[in-house]
Amino acid sequence: MTEPILELENVSYTYPDGPVAVDDLSVSVGRGERVAVLGSNGAGKSTFFLLCNGILEPSAGCIRCGGRQMSRKKKDLIELHRRVGIVFQEAENQILAVTVEGEVSFGPINLGLPMEEVEQRTADALQRMGLQGYGDRSPQYLSGGEKKRVTIADILAMKPDVILLDEPTASLDPENVVRLERTLDQLTQAGIALMVSTHDVDFAARFARRGLVFVHGKLAADGPMETIFSRQELLEQAGLRKPWIWQAAEELHPGEDSYPMTMEQFSLWKNAADVTARGGN
């Protein structure tokens, strides 16, 4: 992993009514990483995101961003909100302005930036999300996929180091899922670290290189996706299944340590398996 951008060290969080949502969590994320955050409902994934962004204050432990420990002082919280952005599952809960341009410019304005820079950041974010010409439109009348792109543009205008996405494929049709995956590819190529909380293990397998698995508020696993999906007991504890492509390959050739997780990997794997079956001829 590259030098950490965001670090949580021995972080715990207990809600006021008593339940421990995150228990003694230590994890770090480096520039350009693609991380899937997996687990059943109530496992601690959402609380983890809110801690990363500074919305929630840890009951114990510390959070560092760019190597510096973040306090609860206003200056530190603003810095953490800017560098670690959240895209919530329901776009309607995040979009507040009456126009797309007003929505995307809201964050930079609140940073106290000069209007010239606000306008430049807004235009750049809209362009990166393919929303040129949408500035004067009302978000209310956009499609689900377009609203999702607006919420990501919101965060991009803040020039973050890390973006947290909560169930980004929820309510998206297949065409918009493909478009979203292309967007995520572009963001990681630009050096932005992405952490995606999702129940869609097929999407997670295509997207992520590393997985964090939460079980009852604890980090039960942190490692390559291939390792996570090879651990049947872990999957059962976390309420997860193997990706469909993995399962299909496992049916064809049981007993291997790992299996493909994308169609491209499946094609290469099947060709190699066919050659082996023919004796290498």
DSSP conformational letter for 70? -
Two tokens at 243? Answer: 């990706």
Distance CA 163, CA 18 (A): 29
Q: What pairs with residue 86 in β-bridges?
A: 164
Residue 17: the pLDDT is: 80
Q: Quick count: other Cβ atoms within 10 Å of Cβ 150? A: 25
* Of residues 112, 105, 101, 102, the one with CA closest to residue 79: 112
Cβ-Cβ contacts under 8 Å for 157 (sequence gap 6 or more): 104, 105, 107, 108, 121, 122, 124, 125
pLDDT at 275: 61
The answer to whether 73 touches 241, Cβ cutoff 8 Å, is no
Q: Would you write out the chain's pLDDT as a tens digit for each of its 281 residues?
A: 578 999 999 999 998 887 899 999 999 999 999 999 999 998 999 999 999 999 999 999 999 999 999 999 999 999 999 999 999 888 888 888 999 999 999 999 988 899 999 999 999 999 988 899 999 999 989 988 899 889 999 999 999 999 999 998 887 888 888 888 888 998 999 899 999 999 999 999 999 999 999 999 999 999 999 999 999 999 999 999 999 999 999 999 898 888 999 988 998 888 877 666 666 55
pLDDT for 277 equals 61
- 197 exposure class (CB count in 10 Å sphere: 0-12, 13-18, 19+): buried
How far is it, in rounded angstroms, from Cα 131 to Cα 150?
Answer: 8
Residue with tokens 């329901």: 90
**CA 210, CA 37: separation in Å to the nearest integer?**
9
Residues across the chain: 281
Q: Which two tokens stand for residue 175?
A: 């065409």
Tokens of 208: 């992520």
Can you give the pLDDT at residue 163? 95
CA nearest to 209, candidates 227, 235, 192, 197: 227
Q: Whose CA is closest to 133, among 92, 108, 159, 101?
A: 101
- Helix runs in the chain, H state only: 45-53, 74-83, 100-110, 115-128, 144-156, 174-189, 201-207, 225-229, 232-238, 244-252, 263-277
Instruction: Give the pLDDT confidence score for residue 171 in this predicted structure.
Output: 77
**What is the value of pTM for the model shown?**
0.91
Hey, what amino acid is at 179?
Answer: R
